[in-house]
Each structure stands twice: as C-alpha cells, then as structure tokens.
Amino acid sequence: MLFSRHETRLPTPDEALKGRPEPEFRLPGRHTVLGNPLAGPYPEGLVVADFALGCFWGAERKFWQTPGVWTTLVGYQGGHTPNPAYEEVCSGLTGHTEAVRVVFDPSAVSYESLLKLFWESHDPTQGFRQGNDRGTQYRSAIYTHSPAHQSTAEASRDAYQSVLRSSGYGAITTEILPAGPFYAAEPYHQQYLDKNPTGYCGIGGTGVSCPVGVAKADG
C-alpha cells in the first residue's frame, strides 16, 4: 500500500497530504449519459448541490437518473488536500469524502427532492463507513451553496432523524457544511457505472421513507 490507512479518524490540516496545485489529468468534456458539460460555468438558472453518501460510483448514478438533473460529476470534497489522487483519498490522509456534484434545474426538480433521494439512498447513521465500505471517505455529508440550502438540509436531517428513530435506527452522523473546494475525480471515475454497467455499487438505503418539503423539523 502507498499510504498507511486512517479509517476511523479525520486528519488535521497539518497531518493531511500536501496534494498538488493542479490536477494531473484533463476532465472529460461531457457527461456520457446526459450529454451536457461536466465542468462549469453552468447555464444561468441552474443550481449546484454536493452530496456524499458512500462510494461515488453508485451515488452518481442515483442522481443522473433523476429528471431535472442537468449534469453530475464525482470528486473529492470536505478535506484539506488540494487536487488529491484517488489512492490518497482512500488512505484517509486527505480528509475528503467521495462526493457527487449535482447540477439541476430547480424548475424541474426541487432541492428538497434531491435531499429525499440523498437520505433514502444510503444509511446516514453509520459514521465512517457505508455498508462494507469502511473509511473516512465514505462518510455521509451535504455541502451547501447557500444559507437557504443549509437550513433546508438541516431541517430535512431533523425530520428524517425522527422517522429513523421510530424505525430503530440511531443518530444521523451526516455532516452538513457550507461547500468548500470540489476537486473532480479522475476521468475513469466519471459516470463509472455507465461505462461499466456490471461494476460495483455499494449504495443501499434503510428502507425508511424521508418526508419531503418539510419547513421545520417537526413538519
């Protein structure tokens, strides 16, 4: 292995790998399924949302299959290391999650609907793992791009926590934070399950339905 693994503790900024000032690859121009550009700037009126819910291969497919989503791409977010390589993220020494950037048309799909998909597509109570995938990069997270999205995400968490508890689940461990830098993952990760239809997908939910459109935690 290239690096010793840190599966149960996030690194401090001083402990994190240094990374690099620029990525070592060129991002593909267009989404293999949706046909739209992966990288911004995006057309006026579209909105960006970032989610982490385990292995990003299956997570990305969940979102690109959603009507109203204009493009998706996978990357690394929430940590300290600029432009990390996949192997570095897997070491646990970057602090990043495996994240999905979702660019959507809010007139066609609401942020609340994307939050519902997020919550129902994984188990947000598992800490630094998702199913058999273990490591800090598999933690659950929502990275928001506006104060309105921050409050909406927090309200959805509190509402979902209520129904999860009544179904026997523990505390939600999802971090909900303003979005920091998003570093696109290597080209072979982009739309991986479109290129490899029988590839690994570790995404699986709790089976507990999430309330949609809640304005308050008790809504």
pTM: 0.93
Find all residues with CB under 8 Å of 68, minimum gap 6, and list them: 104, 105, 107, 108, 109, 113
Task: Count other C-beta atoms under 10 Å from residue 117's C-beta.
Answer: 22
Residue 152: CB partners within 8 Å, gap ≥ 6? 111, 112, 115
**The pLDDT value given to residue 7:** 67
d(CA 173, CA 77): 17
- Cis peptide before 11, with omega less than 30 degrees from 0? no
Give the active site residue among 55, 90, 201, 210. Answer: 55
Distance between CA 68 and CA 36 in Å, rounded?
13
Q: Are 116 and 63 in contact (CB under 8 A)?
A: no
- Where the chain has pLDDT below 50, the residues are 1-4, 214-219
Q: Are 204 and 122 in contact (CB under 8 A)?
A: yes
Question: Where do the DSSP E strands lie in the chain?
Answer: 47-53, 69-77, 97-104, 129-130, 133-134, 140-144, 175-178, 182-184
* 55 catalytic residue (yes or no): yes
By residue count, the chain amounts to 219
- pLDDT one-digit tens code per residue, 122-137: 999 999 999 889 999 9
- Predicted local distance difference test score (pLDDT) of residue 6: 61
CATH number of this structure's domain 47-195, picked from the four choices 3.40.1260.10, 3.30.1060.10, 3.90.740.10, 3.30.479.30: 3.30.1060.10
Amino acid at 126: Q
Average pLDDT, the chain: 93
